């Protein structure tokens, strides 16, 4: 807003905003701090903020006790793989719905979204049996397919809202200029929608990275990603806070950093076309 | 070559018959303008010719070959859109070269043609900019450049000047006319502005509610409008229509007199000046004439007539006569 | 811009997504439907057969069912209200001219990147634990008894945790919506003598309607299936106090190893999801001229 703001008012709102933001962020901060404390220091009473015994021991132990690189690699393959596969299927569909809309397009979009409303637990057993039959249990490919299908409606919807912003005349112009359908999508639509495609990719990598139901149900060891890694650490309640925090930090840090760096891009994507 | 022939072309969207059936022949090298009020189907007709819409029935022939079911890319036509439809992620050079690239032309030949088009259109200094960095007029030129490099059988223009300001519009209008004179390629130009139609066209097609009202050279339409619609649409300010006793004197249901054909001073009509607009070169008067109604009069700039004055008018030039169905007699 | 060939191409291009989603939806659903009418216990795999609606009857007559249903709706409704209201307030605050807006956004968005099991275990262990949790320490420092969050207020605790996870999503969408509002509109309203409250009511809120709709829609989709947070923290307890429909199904399938009953519960959950979806689409779908 371009209105005159008194310095006093600015100071008050700044302090208030920072206080709120720090409260929201505090659990993550506290977890990170705890991960660098000794176990004794982590549960000390009263809680230690600055006077703790700092150590890297927890990270070393978590690293030694479990095969972190494998979990990490599985997470990368599954989240990136399912997102890329999803985009491959979704880009043509979103193109069609955005530029050749029919009377049923909106219903179709809503139906796609509604497939996500089915609670995962409700179809857990059949899907498990199905995956078992197909030999996909504990395979990265199986999870890539499962998460791709799970996020496909979101990917299509996001791309659709981005494509809608591209004027149809430009695509018509490319058709007049002799571009085939393929040429139109590759040379004109995709480059123009690149920021939107990037946002879509980011959000879906994050959703897939943080998915913690199918990734746990459908894996045992070989293909288990970081969500399963952390689940194996959270078992003993109220114990080993420092190690639990270190493992937690290791599980979320890659995506937290990616998310922070791409924050602007991501927030734009998050709005699902809600903000013009 | 760019001879285009439409036979019984029809277009419906569901139950709405946008174009009930049109026959039209466009000769090679002609500058044809489709003109009409918004919603008259002129843009749809252009898009049918372009292949961006399917015809519901009828045939479109381009250079004697049936093109009704050809995709846009195969028709050998180029189009300039109202929004210019430039590719925002490509430089001007790449924009202009895009159709050549799609046609699989060699890079060297592409460069040569782009340079040539840029020179003609005064774009040589902007080739490495993106459309976002150009002014409206420059974007318009890029859009035209993209159309001419292909050396198409015909150019299609869809209200290309409506996004430009008034001064630029006059300039671009002349540039497009000059382009036509030098290229001698068929051009089809859609506009709702009858001034553009009158100044640019070899042949004007006046459309109304999806039907062709009249086809002809600009002056032919001006001098001999076939019906009330064309008479009212062509010419500015609009032709005055008079019904009743005055029309009966000329054995017509309606008579039409153009504002520029009425002289102020002496004459049989007498009335009071309402609004008077003095533009310097001309003066436009609204005169409430006794027993006839309000007439628009285009008088010389120095005419001495103001609000409330009582003046005498004489119809001169041609008096257009129309029957009860609105057709010229 | 549609010709027959482009419409045909469009259909071909939508087809793979539709087919994949149809399979993804129908195959498990059909299998669940089949099991829901069967006797199928992993403990006694030899005894099988059709049991009609018995599985459904057991599920609906189970004392936990109505509680689970209520808990599910309370979770969805509670989180929606908290995130939308708090999110709007925080967005209004951050939208003010404040220093370091970029960093603020980074701090606020952080919970969104935390995977559910980690979020649940941070809250359960580091904050809500009655001995070692930070809340207990704070209570003790005031000389009060630590609150037994997960024992005494299990459902509220779960709602709190899930709200924390989804607050960034709501806040950032609403913030983006606020930032897209032209200041001229607000200035005009101010010239017209509108108070801050009526500016919010008549200018800001209508402008943000679409954004709020999207927040509600997306969150509902994810909230209906919430499972991991309950599994990590309360395990549906104490007793059945924090058992939701998904968790009840999970208990039948994994703890009781009764696939038939779990499947019946699954079908009920799907029906519930469809009812919610129907009302959701009807009441807010019109704001989504997608």
Minimum distance, in Å, between the CA of residue C10 and any CA atom of chain B? 15
Q: Which two structure tokens, joined as six digits, stand for B142?
A: 């890029």
- In Å, how far from its chain's centre is CA B49? 17
Q: Are residues A75 and A208 in the same domain?
A: yes
In a domain, A275, yes or no: no
Task: Please name the chains neighbouring C, where neighbouring means 3+ C-beta pairs under 8 angstroms.
Answer: A, B
In a domain, C7, yes or no: no
| CA C88 – CA C173 distance, rounded (Å) | 9
- Give the model confidence (pLDDT) of C206-243 as tens digits: 888 888 988 898 898 889 888 888 888 888 778 788 88
In a domain, C256, yes or no: yes
Q: Are residues A142 and A200 in the same domain?
A: yes
Q: Are residues A97 and A164 in the same domain?
A: yes
Inter-chain contacts counted by CB atoms under 8 A, chains B and C: 10
Domain residue extents for chain B: 4-232, 238-322
Q: Which of A28-32, A168-172, A217-221, B251-255 is predicted with the least confidence, judged by mean pLDDT?
A: A217-221
pLDDT band at A1 (very low <50, low <70, confident <90, very high): very low
| CA A104 – CA A114 distance, rounded (Å) | 15
- Cα distance from N-terminal residue to C-terminal residue, chain A: 18
Mean per-residue pLDDT, A126-154: 90
Q: Are residues A235 and A125 in the same domain?
A: yes
| Residues of C within an 8 Å Cβ radius of B | 1-5
Q: Are residues A196 and A233 in the same domain?
A: yes
pLDDT for the residue numbered A273: 61
Test A177 with B73 for CB contact under 8 angstroms.
yes
- Please give the residue range of the domain that contains residue A29: 7-60
In a domain, C16, yes or no: no
Q: Are residues A118 and A180 in the same domain?
A: yes
Helix axes A241-261, A68-99, angle to 10 degrees: 40
Task: Please name the chains neighbouring B, where neighbouring means 3+ C-beta pairs under 8 angstroms.
Answer: A, C
Residues of A in contact with B91 (CB under 8 A): none
pLDDT for the residue numbered C42: 77
For B51, name the nearest residue in chain C, comparing CA atoms only. C3
Mean per-residue pLDDT, A97-115: 84
Tally of domains within chain C = 1
Average pLDDT over chain B reads: 90
In a domain, C30, yes or no: no
Which stretch of DSSP H or E encloses residue A129? helix A124-133
In a domain, C34, yes or no: no
Q: What is the number of other CB atoms lying within 10 angstroms of the CB of residue C154? A: 24
Minimum distance, in Å, between the CA of residue A137 and any CA atom of chain C? 16
Residues in C 240-259 with any Cβ partner in A closer than 8 A:
245-247, 249-250, 253, 259
pLDDT band at B5 (very low <50, low <70, confident <90, very high): very high
Give the closest residue to C107 by CA, choosing from A10, A30, A28: A28
Q: What is the CATH number of the domain that holds A142?
A: 1.10.3720.10
- Give the model confidence (pLDDT) of B218-227 as tens digits: 999 999 999 9
Minimum distance, in Å, between the CA of residue A196 and any CA atom of chain B? 14
Helix axes C101-109, A241-261, angle to 10 degrees: 130
Q: Are residues A123 and A28 in the same domain?
A: no
Q: Which of B40-49, B305-314, C151-160, C228-237 is predicted with the least confidence, judged by mean pLDDT?
A: C228-237
Task: Please determine, for residue A133, whether its predicted confidence score (pLDDT) is greater than 80.
Answer: yes
For chain A, say whether C63 makes contact (Cβ under 8 Å): no
pLDDT for the residue numbered B212: 92
For residue A244, CA distances in Å to A24, C119, C229 come to 21, 12, 16
pLDDT for the residue numbered A2: 44
Task: Please determine, for residue A121, whether its predicted confidence score (pLDDT) is greater than 60.
Answer: yes
| CA C150 – CA B160 distance, rounded (Å) | 68
- Please give the residue range of the domain that contains residue C104: 54-287
| CA B125 – CA A57 distance, rounded (Å) | 64
Note whether A233 and A241 are within 8 A (CB): no
pLDDT band at A3 (very low <50, low <70, confident <90, very high): low
- Give the model confidence (pLDDT) of A167-205 as tens digits: 888 988 998 888 888 888 889 988 888 888 888 898 899
In a domain, A2, yes or no: no
Q: Please, is B290 exposed, middle or buried when counting C-beta atoms within 10 Å of its C-beta (0-12, 13-18, 19+)?
A: exposed
- In Å, how far from its chain's centre is CA C66? 19
Test C4 with B71 for CB contact under 8 angstroms.
no
Q: Is B91 left (phi over 0), alpha (psi -120 to 50) or beta?
A: beta
Tally of domains within chain A = 2
pLDDT for the residue numbered C163: 96
In a domain, A137, yes or no: yes
In a domain, C18, yes or no: no
Note whether A10 and C98 are within 8 A (CB): yes
The class that CATH gives domain B4-232 is: alpha beta
pLDDT for the residue numbered B143: 92
pLDDT band at B254 (very low <50, low <70, confident <90, very high): very high
Per-residue confidence in pLDDT tens, chain C, 290 aa: 467 777 888 888 888 999 999 998 888 888 888 888 887 887 777 777 788 888 888 888 888 889 989 999 999 999 999 999 999 999 999 888 888 888 888 899 899 999 998 998 889 888 888 878 888 888 888 888 888 888 888 899 999 999 999 999 999 889 888 888 888 888 888 888 788 888 888 888 888 888 898 889 889 888 988 888 888 888 877 878 888 888 888 888 888 788 888 888 888 888 888 888 888 877 776 666 54
Q: Are residues A122 and A251 in the same domain?
A: yes
This model of the complex carries an ipTM of 0.87
Test B73 with A176 for CB contact under 8 angstroms.
yes
CATH number of B238-322: 2.40.50.140
In a domain, A82, yes or no: yes
Residues of A in contact with C262 (CB under 8 A): 125
Q: What is the CATH number of the domain that holds C164?
A: 1.10.3720.10
pLDDT band at A238 (very low <50, low <70, confident <90, very high): low
In a domain, C3, yes or no: no
Mutate one of B47, B71, B72 to test the A interface: name it (highest A CB count within 10 A).
B72
In a domain, C24, yes or no: no
């Amino acid at each position: 807003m371009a209105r005159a703001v008194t310095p006093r008012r600015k100071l008050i709102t700044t302090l208030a905003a920072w206080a709120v933001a720090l409260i929201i962020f505090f659990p993550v901060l506290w977890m990170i701090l705890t991960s660098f404390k000794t176990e004794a220091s982590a549960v000390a009473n009263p809680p230690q903020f600055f006077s703790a015994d700092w150590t890297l021991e927890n990270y070393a132990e978590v690293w030694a006790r479990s095969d972190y690189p494998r979990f990490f690699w599985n997470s990368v393959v599954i989240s990136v793989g399912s997102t890329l596969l999803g985009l491959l299927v979704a880009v043509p569909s979103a193109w069609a719905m955005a530029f050749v809309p029919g009377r049923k397009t909106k219903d179709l979009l809503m139906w796609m979204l509604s497939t996500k409303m089915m609670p995962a637990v409700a179809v857990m057993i059949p899907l498990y049996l199905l995956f078992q039959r197909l030999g996909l249990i504990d395979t990265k490919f199986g999870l890539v397919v499962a998460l791709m299908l799970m996020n496909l409606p979101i990917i299509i919807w996001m791309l659709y809202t981005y494509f809608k912003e591209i004027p149809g005349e430009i695509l018509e112009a490319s058709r007049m200029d002799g571009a085939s359908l393929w040429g139109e999508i590759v040379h004109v639509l995709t480059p123009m929608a690149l920021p939107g495609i990037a946002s879509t990719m980011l959000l879906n990598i994050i959703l897939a990275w943080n998915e913690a139901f199918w990734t746990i149900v459908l894996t045992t060891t070989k293909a288990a990603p970081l969500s399963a890694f952390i689940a194996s650490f959270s078992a003993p309640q109220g114990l080993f806070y420092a190690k639990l925090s270190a493992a937690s930090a290791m599980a979320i840090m890659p995506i937290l950093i990616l998310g922070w760096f791409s924050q602007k891009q991501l927030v734009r994507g998050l709005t699902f076309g809600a903000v013009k | 070559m760019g001879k285009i022939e439409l036979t019984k072309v029809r277009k419906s969207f569901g139950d709405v018959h946008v174009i009930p059936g049109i026959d039209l022949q466009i000769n090679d090298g002609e500058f044809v303008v489709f003109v009409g009020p918004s919603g008259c189907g002129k843009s749809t007709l252009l898009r049918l010719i372009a292949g961006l819409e399917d015809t519901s029935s009828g045939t479109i022939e381009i250079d004697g070959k049936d093109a009704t079911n050809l995709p846009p890319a195969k028709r050998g036509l180029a189009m300039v859109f109202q929004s210019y439809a430039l590719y925002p992620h490509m430089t001007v050079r790449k924009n202009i070269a895009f159709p050549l690239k799609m046609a699989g032309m060699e890079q060297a030949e592409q460069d040569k043609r782009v340079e040539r088009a840029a020179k003609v259109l005064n774009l040589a200094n902007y080739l490495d900019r993106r459309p976002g960095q150009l002014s409206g007029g420059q974007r318009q030129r890029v859009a035209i450049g993209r159309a001419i490099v292909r050396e198409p059988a015909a150019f299609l223009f869809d209200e290309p000047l409506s996004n430009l300001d008034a001064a630029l519009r006059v300039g671009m209008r002349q540039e497009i006319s000059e382009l036509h004179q030098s290229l001698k390629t068929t051009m089809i130009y859609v506009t709702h502005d009858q001034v553009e139609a009158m100044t640019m066209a070899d042949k004007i097609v006046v459309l109304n509610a999806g039907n062709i009202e009249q086809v002809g050279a600009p002056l032919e339409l001006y001098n001999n409008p076939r019906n009330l619609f064309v008479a009212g649409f062509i010419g500015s300010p609009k032709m005055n229509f008079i019904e009743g006793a005055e029309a009966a004197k000329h054995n017509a249901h309606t008579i039409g007199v153009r504002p520029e054909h009425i002289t102020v001073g002496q004459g049989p009509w007498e009335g009071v000046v309402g609004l008077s607009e003095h533009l310097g070169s001309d003066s436009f008067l609204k005169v409430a004439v006794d027993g006839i109604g309000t007439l628009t009069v285009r008088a010389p700039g120095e005419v001495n007539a103001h609000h409330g004055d009582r003046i005498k008018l004489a119809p001169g030039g041609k008096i257009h006569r129309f029957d009860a169905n609105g057709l010229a007699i | 811009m549609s010709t027959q060939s482009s419409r045909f191409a469009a259909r071909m291009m939508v087809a793979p997504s539709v087919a994949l989603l149809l399979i993804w939806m129908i195959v498990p659903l059909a299998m669940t439907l089949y099991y829901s009418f069967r006797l199928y216990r992993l403990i006694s795999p030899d005894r099988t057969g059709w049991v009609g609606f018995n599985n459904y009857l057991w599920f609906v007559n189970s004392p936990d069912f109505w509680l689970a249903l209520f808990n599910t709706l309370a979770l969805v409704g509670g989180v929606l209200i908290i995130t939308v209201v708090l999110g709007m307030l925080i967005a209004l605050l951050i939208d003010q001219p404040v220093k370091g807006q970029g960093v603020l956004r980074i701090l606020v968005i952080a919970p969104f990147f935390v995977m559910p099991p980690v979020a649940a275990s941070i809250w359960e262990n580091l904050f809500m634990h009655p001995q070692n949790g930070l809340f207990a320490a704070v209570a003790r420092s005031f000389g009060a008894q630590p609150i037994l969050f997960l024992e005494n207020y299990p459902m509220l605790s779960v709602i709190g945790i899930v709200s924390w996870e989804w607050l960034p999503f709501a806040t950032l969408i609403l913030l983006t919506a606020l930032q897209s509002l032209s200041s001229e509109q607000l200035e005009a309203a101010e010239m017209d003598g509108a108070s801050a409250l009526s500016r919010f009511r008549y200018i800001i809120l209508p402008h943000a309607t679409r954004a709020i709709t999207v927040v509600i829609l997306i969150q509902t989709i994810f909230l209906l299936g919430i499972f991991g947070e309950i599994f990590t923290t309360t395990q549906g307890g104490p007793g059945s106090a924090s058992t939701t429909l998904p968790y009840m199904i999970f208990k039948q399938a994994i703890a009781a190893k009764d696939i038939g009953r779990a499947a019946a519960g699954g079908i009920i959950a799907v029906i519930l999801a469809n009812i919610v979806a129907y009302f959701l689409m009807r009441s807010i779908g019109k704001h989504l001229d997608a």
